[in-house]
Amino acid sequence: MIECLDIVKIYKNGDVETPVLKNVSFKINDGEFVAIMGPSGSGKSTLMHILGALDTPTSGVYKLDDQDVSKLSDDQLANIRKNKIGFVFQSFNLLSRATVIRNVSLPLIYSEVPKEERIKKAKQSLVLAGLPENRWEHLSNQLSGGQMQRVAIARALVNDPSIILADEPTGNLDTKTGEVVLATFQELNNKNHHTIVLITHELYVAQHADRIIHIQDGLIIKDEKNQNKRIVNNDLN
């Protein structure tokens, strides 16, 4: 469960202060599929960094599973990311010369999980992310964009996180491949009840979620249930 209360983030560059998040409060329950939507410069990326424990707010409280994350040190934040958060990035960020399995199991080396168990968990995640088994031993740079993003999703799932944060996951993909990736998220949310937070600037992408938080100039301007959810037929792939 995510609770944000009066989150403010101000970037300081010398004497110039730039407020990016002015006063943001919301709550996301376990098992929700939420899209955070806003134009570029709205502060949605900054919000994602705070939600992902990559950064801390200037003021306000951010609670993840009832633990206050807003005032932790760098190493404590790293522990939160290791145990509770799975990231999916726009540009995949895979290790290009490593196999799919090694990419997916990467987060587990920092949790000191034994090698056999790492491989076992990586395979389970790959099944959930829907990457065909004959691709598992490929090097990640031999895959197509959609397959790469599935590897990234599997990597986000491997530590069994409380939330999956997807930052523009379809931004580098064509519409059809993007649909497949979004379908994967829907399926993870429906069947496995993963909490998914999708950050995007496209309404079309946001409409795949159950709830849309609109953000603009550092403020939430609308937080509503998605009335016309797009359901993707997962047989597309």
Partner 1 sequence: MKISDIFEETYFSLMSNKVRTGLTMLGIVIGIGSVIGMVSIGQGAQGNIESRIQSIGSNLILIMPGAQRGVGMEVSSGRGSAQTLTLDDASAIASSVSGVEAVAPEISRRYQVTAAGTNTNVSVVGTVSSYPQVRNVAIDQGSFITDQSVQDFSKVAVLGPSARDDLFGTGAQAIGQMIKINKVDFKVVGITQAKGGNGFGSQDDMIFVPLTSAQRYLEGDTYVTTISVQAQSQNVMSDVQQQITSLLLERHHISDPTLADFNVLNQSDIVAAASSVTSTFTILLGAIAGISLLVGGIGIMNMMLTTVTERTREIGLRKAVGAKSKDINVQFLTESVALTFMGGVFGFILGWVLAFLVTQFAGITTQISLSSVILAFVVSAGIGIVFGYYPAKRAASLNPIEALRYE
159 near partner 1, judged by CB under 8 A: yes
Using CB under 8 A as the binding rule, the residues of this chain from 55 to 74 that contact partner 1 are 55, 74
What CA–CA distances, in Å, run from 178 to 149, 155, 187, 205, 232? Answer: 9, 18, 14, 9, 11
The closest of 17, 156, 193 to 8, measured between CA atoms, is: 17
Q: Which is nearer to partner 1, 114 or 175 (CB)?
A: 114
Q: How far apart are CA 84 and CA 203, in angstroms?
A: 28
By the 10 Å C-beta count (0-12 exposed, 13-18 middle, 19+ buried), 100 is classed as buried
Q: Which is nearer to partner 1, 145 or 229 (CB)?
A: 145
The closest of 151, 154, 149 to 135, measured between CA atoms, is: 151
Type of residue found at 171: G
Would strands 163-167 and 16-28 be described as parallel, antiparallel, or unpaired?
unpaired
Q: Which is nearer to partner 1, 109 or 221 (CB)?
A: 109
Using CB under 8 A as the binding rule, the residues of this chain from 85 to 144 that contact partner 1 are 87, 89, 91, 93, 95, 97-98, 102, 106-107, 109-112, 115
Stretch that binds partner 1, among 26-34, 78-86, 168-176, 216-224 (CB under 8 A): 78-86
Q: Which of 81, 150, 194, 208 binds partner 1 (CB under 8 A)?
A: 81
Residues that bind partner 1 in the complex, under the rule CB under 8 A: 49, 52, 54-55, 74-75, 78-79, 81-83, 87, 89, 91, 93, 95, 97-98, 102, 106-107, 109-112, 115, 155, 159
